[in-house]
Amino acid sequence: VARKAGFQRALLRWYRSRARPLPWRDSPSLYKTVVSEFMLQQTQVKTVLPYFARWLEALPDFSALAAASEGRVLKLWEGLGYYSRARNLHRLAGRIASRSSPPNTPAGWREFPGIGPYTAAAITSISFQYPAACVDGNVVRILARLTANPKRFPDSATAAKIFSPLAEALLSSSPGDHNQAMMELGATVCLRKKPLCAVCPVRGYCAAARLGHPGKFPRLAPRKIERHKLTRVWCERDDSLLLHLAPPSARRLASMHELPLAGQAGLTVKAAACGELLAQKRR
């Protein structure tokens, strides 16, 4: 118990003095937390920063977002990718704006579109001090190193499940700051390839650092990466450009228009390659 309290204190002291000054941490609000958590899904902080600033200026609260047209929302999101996030955030704002008060538990937030266990824990711990631990790849890495867990995990989702009870057990009485401190530690100190153990605030609690090879943890099976070459084509007729409408279930460009694949445009690969050259010349 004393070690747990010492770990929590060291982590929080470090976070409160060293955390990066990010705009969603400055005068925090539920709206800023929700928008930043949606934007940060699959996307790095430095990419999100200019989008977040533009978004807050154009749509400063849930009511403004709920009242905005989908076209405006998508325009503000343009370039961030995974557009289903923007649509889900838009729908969520409509539901929040129509309620007398937002839910304050992870289960309540999980009923909204686009909210998984991590995002629900992040929003409720940061905005309502709900005692739920956030467990993502960063947190798994820290916990695997703190415990020097030798187990080999088939994938990061399995590892997250295994480490969840430990993450919950380590939560302090300030769950919002604790979760943000763990995320900050994973993003800036306990780095995947070269952890900065010399400046780590919880080094005294870390079994992997004591063993001298923290980079060996966590032990994750290598990800299988399949590479596919896609040929997209530029087809014009009568001053119109042929575009393909991605289905709502598409991961990156749900319900967005994109250049069609050769097969979708009814072309052979040879003809499609000519189309590509034509498109390059026109740019």
Q: Tell me if 76 contacts ligand SF4 by CB under 6 A.
A: no
User: Among 80, 86, 140, 197, which residue interacts with ligand SF4 (rule: CB under 6 A)?
Assistant: 197
Radius of gyration of the chain (CA): 22
DSSP state for residue 42 in the 8-state scheme: T
The residue range among 26-34, 111-119, 207-215, 259-267 that interacts with ligand SF4, by the rule CB under 6 A, is 207-215
Within 8 A by CB and 6+ apart from 13, the residues are 201
C-alpha 121/C-alpha 112 separation (Å) is 13
Q: CB of 205: closest distance to ligand SF4 in angstroms?
A: 8
User: Mask 211-230, x = binds ligand SF4 (CB under 6 A)?
Assistant: ---x----------------
Q: Tell me if 142 contacts ligand SF4 by CB under 6 A.
A: yes
Q: CB of 217: closest distance to ligand SF4 in angstroms?
A: 8
C-alpha 165/C-alpha 31 separation (Å) is 29
Q: How many residues does the chain have?
A: 283
Nearer to ligand SF4, 135 or 200 (CB): 200
Q: How far is CA 253 from the centre of its chain?
A: 17
Q: CB of 198: closest distance to ligand SF4 in angstroms?
A: 8
Q: Tell me if 139 contacts ligand SF4 by CB under 6 A.
A: no
User: Among 39, 189, 235, 267, which residue interacts with ligand SF4 (rule: CB under 6 A)?
Assistant: 189
CA dihedral 140, 144, 146, 147 (to 10 degrees): 140
37 catalytic residue (yes or no):
yes
C-alpha 64/C-alpha 86 separation (Å) is 14
User: Mask 9-48, x = binds ligand SF4 (CB under 6 A)?
Assistant: ----------------------------------------
User: Among 171, 209, 265, 267, which residue interacts with ligand SF4 (rule: CB under 6 A)?
Assistant: 209
The residue range among 7-15, 90-98, 208-216, 250-258 that interacts with ligand SF4, by the rule CB under 6 A, is 208-216
Q: Tell me if 206 contacts ligand SF4 by CB under 6 A.
A: yes
C-alpha 230/C-alpha 45 separation (Å) is 29
Nearer to ligand SF4, 208 or 233 (CB): 208
C-alpha 16/C-alpha 144 separation (Å) is 24
- Alpha helices, DSSP H, located in the chain: 2-18, 30-40, 45-58, 62-67, 70-77, 84-97, 106-110, 117-128, 137-147, 156-170, 175-188, 207-211, 269-282
User: Among 25, 203, 232, 244, which residue interacts with ligand SF4 (rule: CB under 6 A)?
Assistant: 203
What positions carry a catalytic annotation? 37
Residues contributing to the site for ligand SF4 (CB under 6 A)? 142, 145-146, 189-190, 195-197, 200, 202-203, 206, 208-209, 214
